[in-house]
Amino acid sequence: MKILTVDIGTGTQDIFLYDSNLDLENGFKLVLPSPTMMIHRRLKQALLSRIPILLTGHQMGGGPSAWAIEECARAGIPVYMTPDAATTLNDELDKVEKLGIKIVSEEESRKLKVESLELKDFDFELISKTFMDYGVSLKDLSAIAVAVFDHGNAPAGVSDRQFRFDYLDERIKAKNSLSAFAYLSNDIPKIMTRLQSVADSAGDLPCPLVVMDTAPAAVLGANFDPVVAKRERKIIVNVGNFHTLAFRLGDGIEGVFEHHTGEIDLPKLESLIRRLADGSLKHEDVFNDMGHGALVYSQEKFEFGRDEFDVVVTGPRRSMFALTPFLSQRERGILRPYFAVPFGDMMIAGCFGLLAATAEVMPELRETIYTSLNGEGRRGIAPWDNPA
């Protein structure tokens, strides 16, 4: 059985091809530029040539791509976007037009003489071609699982930060587990427009598609580090390029907060973690600091100092927790981090989380996936002994 997992972030898209005939450490991996970075680089080239630009396709991750689109418009280069593509910048299209960008219909776009770029987070055709160039076919997949970060489509006048946190609260109360943030493509909530765009842009796939939020996927994946797995209660922090999210885990999800990484430093992050641990963290403490918010579901305190580390850390900006070579953790008075490396690879922690979530939403695959994730029946087969 094979499952393609793709964790799409701001800097990279991390790809892992699960094969039940192989130990997880022997699965094929790719760490490639993220789709938003690919669009960013293409637009930077267009900025130099000053050629009019048409952006079609679907809503995708913003950040670098959005910055480059807006830079082209500010430079006076004609920029056209179809309605679905324009939601990459803002769900309210009148606000996109105020940036100097012209919204055009699909029919109008076909008449323009411009350089055209298609926006989408997930490009199965390109990924499949990349694997095929190395002799690995993706025609026999049992599932595809893709993770992206989705604020959701907040109504006009409603904070997207508050809207996302209301969504997190609803999902945790409905199903108190990290896999609550994963869906089969037919079950995606209508408000989660970026998840839906992944499904819409995927085209005709050879198998079912599972989509999930990136941060819960990374935290779920970090749980498969053997050291982390031994602890019944823990706080796991995913320090992403744009968003930092911490889950306090015990009997399910005991609490969570989410902030913008650019708005915090280590002392502030440590303060948030300590208040999440003792139950004193309030939603407004984070929201009023330009973060998304906080939720605490258990008043039972989480105590530090009982084990060799205090907090589990993953994510591309985990170096925020790195210590100076001159002072120990205790001398600096900070929390002792443990940098999770599930199956020996931090970069694809989200892919392992996607794999575990797929087992939850597709019960027919559960036994095989859990056997691999739990290290049962390890075969020791090298990739070259199992040709595709």
Fold classification of 231-340 is Nucleotidyltransferase; domain 5 (3.30.420)
* CA-based radius of gyration for the chain: 21
Global confidence as pTM: 0.92
Q: Which segments of 280-379 does DSSP mark as H helices, in order? A: 283-287, 329-332, 349-361, 366-373
Long-range pairs for 278-285 at CB < 8 Å and ≥24 separation?
278/302, 279/255, 281/255, 281/257, 283/165
- 339, 271, 351: which is closest to 308 by C-alpha? 339
CATH, domain 35-119, list 2.60.120, 3.40.50, 3.30.420, 1.20.120: 3.40.50
Look at residue 328 in the predicted model and tell me its pLDDT.
Answer: 52
CATH topology identical between 2-34+135-218+346-385 and 35-119: no
Is residue 137 packed enough to be buried (19+ CB in 10 Å), middle (13-18) or exposed (0-12)?
exposed
Q: Does CATH place domain 2-34+135-218+346-385 in 3.30.420?
A: yes
| pLDDT at residue 388, rounded to an integer | 32
**Domain map of the chain by residue range?**
2-34+135-218+346-385, 35-119, 231-340
User: Of all helices (H) and strands (E), which one includes residue 79?
Assistant: strand 79-81
344: left (phi over 0), alpha (psi -120 to 50) or beta: left
Per-residue pLDDT of the chain (388 residues; tens, 9 = 90+): 999 999 999 999 999 999 999 999 999 999 999 999 999 999 998 889 999 999 999 999 989 999 999 999 999 999 999 999 999 999 899 999 999 999 999 999 999 989 999 999 999 999 999 999 999 999 999 999 999 999 999 998 899 999 999 999 999 999 999 999 999 999 999 999 999 999 999 989 999 999 999 999 999 999 999 999 999 999 999 999 999 999 999 989 999 999 999 999 999 999 999 999 999 999 999 999 999 999 999 989 999 977 789 999 999 999 998 754 444 555 555 789 999 999 999 999 999 999 999 999 999 999 999 999 988 644 443 333 333 3
In the block, residue with structure tokens 């749980």: 223
Q: What pLDDT, on the 0 to 100 scale, is given for residue 137?
A: 95
Q: What is the spatial distance between Cα 369 and Cα 356, in angstroms, rounded to a whole number?
A: 7
Cβ atoms of 245 and 350 within 8 Å: the answer is no
Question: How high is the pLDDT of residue 306?
Answer: 75
